[in-house]
Amino acid sequence: MRMWIEKDSSAFHALSSLVLNQRLLKDLDHMALFKHTGQLENFHSAMLKYLPKRQAFSYHGMRERSYLAILDHNENIIKRKQATTVTGELRFNQVYCKKSKQWILKKIFTAHTTHFVGDLIERVLENRRNMNIKYKTPTSSLALPQPDLPPNIAPLPKPPKETAKALFKSRF
């Protein structure tokens, strides 16, 4: 390890008094509470709901499923309101915090909804009924333009297993 500052220098004492300041350390402890990854974890959970890792999808299927995950996340995490009682009071849950060794209040939110699905279906049907919109009917599943894929991703869909067995030749 290379020492870039002398222990007896005034710069070292000034830096150590700043970094080891108890008030700063207490503030940093409180600031850590504001860097939660909960919303990111919630989004990843929504992604897994619509895009399970153990299932393969085409590029277009992945894109559309990602859009659904985004819509779900926006409706149920970003726009979700705090639940209220019948009288209109905000609802809280009281939990014990092991770190601060105190009881704290956590907000209770409204239930998870899927209203965006009905809205989406309604808009699709409206557009389908609109005679001014012309739709192209693809002749095959490969009719949609494919993005530039990396060389390690197959550009064609997997053929049926029977076809692969018929073409299979052992090298032994």
Q: How high is the pLDDT of residue 140? A: 53
Categorize the per-residue pLDDT at 11 as very low, low, confident or very high, splitting at 50, 70 and 90: confident
Kindly state the average pLDDT of the residues 93-116.
89
| Distance between first and last Cα of the chain | 57
Structure tokens at 110: 């409204």
* Residue pLDDT, tens place only, 30-89: 776 666 778 889 899 989 999 998 888 888 889 999 999 999 999 888 888 899 999 999
Those residues with Cβ within 8 angstroms of residue 66's Cβ, 6 or more apart along the chain or in another chain: 47, 50, 51
Q: How high is the pLDDT of residue 2? A: 65
Neighbours of 46 (CB within 10 A): 21
143 vs 87: which has the higher pLDDT: 87
3-state secondary structure of 157: coil
Which of 89, 69, 85 is closest to 77 using CA atoms?
A: 69
Categorise residue 144: left if φ over 0, alpha if ψ from -120 to 50, beta otherwise: beta
pLDDT of residue 121 exceeding 80: yes
- Write the DSSP string, 26-57: HHHHHHGGG---HHHHHHHHHHHHHS-TTS--
Q: In angstroms, how far apart are the furthest CA atoms of the chain?
A: 82
Say how far apart CA 63 and CA 44 lie, in whole Å: 15
Buried b / exposed e over 132-171, threshold 16 CB at 10 Å, is eeeeeeeeeeeeeeeeeeeeeeeeeeeeeeeeeeeeeeee
54 vs 135: which has the higher pLDDT: 54
